[in-house]
A and B are shown apart, each in its own frame.
Chain A
Amino acid sequence: MKEQEGYVDCPQQQMILYVEKENGQYGPIQTGSYLTRNYLDDYFLKRNNLIAKLKAQVQQKEISPVRFFMILEDLTLPELSSRVGIPARKVRKHLLPDAFSRLSHEELQKYAIVFNVSPGQMVSLDFPEEGQIPRNPAP
């Protein structure tokens, strides 16, 4: 890739790209993310749609908040089990609303740490992400 083709104006996400400089030498330039510049709006559109869909499923008692966050954060059952330190067979039960309502405070706290929210936000699903959606940086 030629140097002049490598520059992308995206201050939100800077990166190093290796390019061919004018003197024929290859080396690094600091540039921006093409994907973030042009497609961040689409990422947030999909994420917000997913959050709305999963919240509706929680409200209709089809899934528990554990399943909500597990899907949102793209974790498999074995991975989540390993991260919270709770056996997979128990985590599988916690994906359903009934078992979730019987979680101990300690178990809820373990899940909250993995999902980086407070135990209260874990139950209410009222976490700040939706309020922090940046405007589309693309022209």
Chain B
Amino acid sequence: MSTIQYQHRMGAHCESGTVTSLLNHAGLPITEPMVFGIASGIFFGYFHRHKSFTFPTFIVRNRPGEIRTNLQKRLGIKFKTYSFRNPDEGMIAMDGLLGRGIPVASQVDFYYMDYVPSWERVHINVHFMIVIGKEGRRYLISDSYFPRPVELEEESMRRGRFAGGTMSPKGFLFHPLQVPADIDYSRPVLKGIRKACFNMLNIPVPFIGVKGIRTFARKVTEWPAFARDTEHLSHEVMKINILLEDQGTGGAGFRYMYATFLQQAAEVLNRPRLKDFSAELMEIGDGWREISLFAARIGKQRDLGPERFKELGELLRQRADMEERFFKELKRQVH
């Protein structure tokens, strides 16, 4: 089997990067921020206790898979999807698509991607990448986190695609089936912004959206009680930086990418006022970036006393206040 002619592109995030890349390949010239924004990707959720996590954690994007499904609904794009109970069938189907010259997105457990450096690998079942070829027993992968295409052993691919656990991939594959020739982006952009505002302001649970940021600010002072020792606490605090910056967010927990989307949305909708929102979110993002750097610094220095956690909580509270104001104003702007 050979390799499909495919223009590899890096992306900020695995799912929005994968979807953008596949749509570009299919002939739709859409940007990653536009994909992310139309799909209402911006989000916040805090989980103090959860059966899948050994330590309190948070998320800064919507549910995995929703980038594709929201985009499908709002832009009228059709994606063909596949899931498998039987790993052998799943591997044969992937090879079959490659044989037909179709680059295909695959959901995998990131831990088995042996092209990823050891310090980045974690068990997380919602990594997306594009398979673009196979030579012998090695797949050629276009992974948006990497500057160039990478290779993956067949066995690692199988393990990654059929890992168990929360949000098990079940061999999930997708590729665009039909992309409309002319898309009017106005309504999808507005819908995407409205839903993002709803997610950040109106979901009636205390751990989601702006309320989630406040819960995080309040509960972060309890983090030391969850830690085995100082080094464990340091590791978990430094993961705040990873979750906001390194885990494919485009910087500042997706705030910079969403600001870019709003700038592009201002053009699409011919609403220059959205450019002010874009600039304001960029500034809010700078504050998230300060939190990332603060977490990395106190983690490295093992400066993890109660005062530091109060300080961290205060920084988070400021973000919550600013984002609440921001999304309320944005909501008024798009209604």
A interface list, Cβ under 8 A from B: 1, 6, 12-20, 25-28, 30, 33-36, 38-40, 42-44, 46-47, 49-50, 73-76, 78-79, 82-85, 113-114, 116, 129, 132
Contact = CB atoms under 8 A, between A and B. Distances in A.
B263 A25 contact: yes
Contacts of A33: 245-246
B33 A18 contact: yes
12 contacts: A1-B285, A13-B120, A18-B250, A26-B260, A34-B296, A39-B296, A42-B234, A74-B55, A76-B52, A82-B166, A114-B163, A132-B118
B51 interface: yes
B246 A16 contact: no
Interface in B141-178: 144-147, 159, 163-166, 168
Taking chain B's interface residues, is the majority helix, strand, or loop, or is none over half, making it mixed? helix
Given A15-B145, A28-B250, A79 B33 contact: no
A17 B231 CA distance: 29
Contact of A35 (B238, B251, B286): B238
A16 B250 contact: yes
Contacts of B145: 15
Contacts of B251: 1, 6, 17-19
Interface in B243-264: 245-246, 248, 250-252, 256-257, 259-260, 263
Contacts of B300: 38-39, 42
Given A39-B238, A79-B123, 7 more contacts: A13-B246, A18-B250, A35-B246, A39-B296, A39-B300, A46-B235, A116-B159
Contact of B165 (A1, A40, A79, A129): A79
B150 to A, nearest CB: 12
Contacts of B10: 14-16, 28, 30
Interface in B34-65: 51-55
Contacts of B232: 46, 50
Nearest to B295: A35
B159 A46 contact: no
A138 B120 CA distance: 17
A74 B231 CA distance: 14
A40 B118 CA distance: 11
A18 B12 contact: yes
A74 to B, nearest CB: 5
A17 B250 contact: yes
B323 interface: no
Rank and list the top 5 A-B pairs by shortest CB-CB distance, nearest first: A18-B256, A26-B260, A83-B164, A16-B12, A83-B165
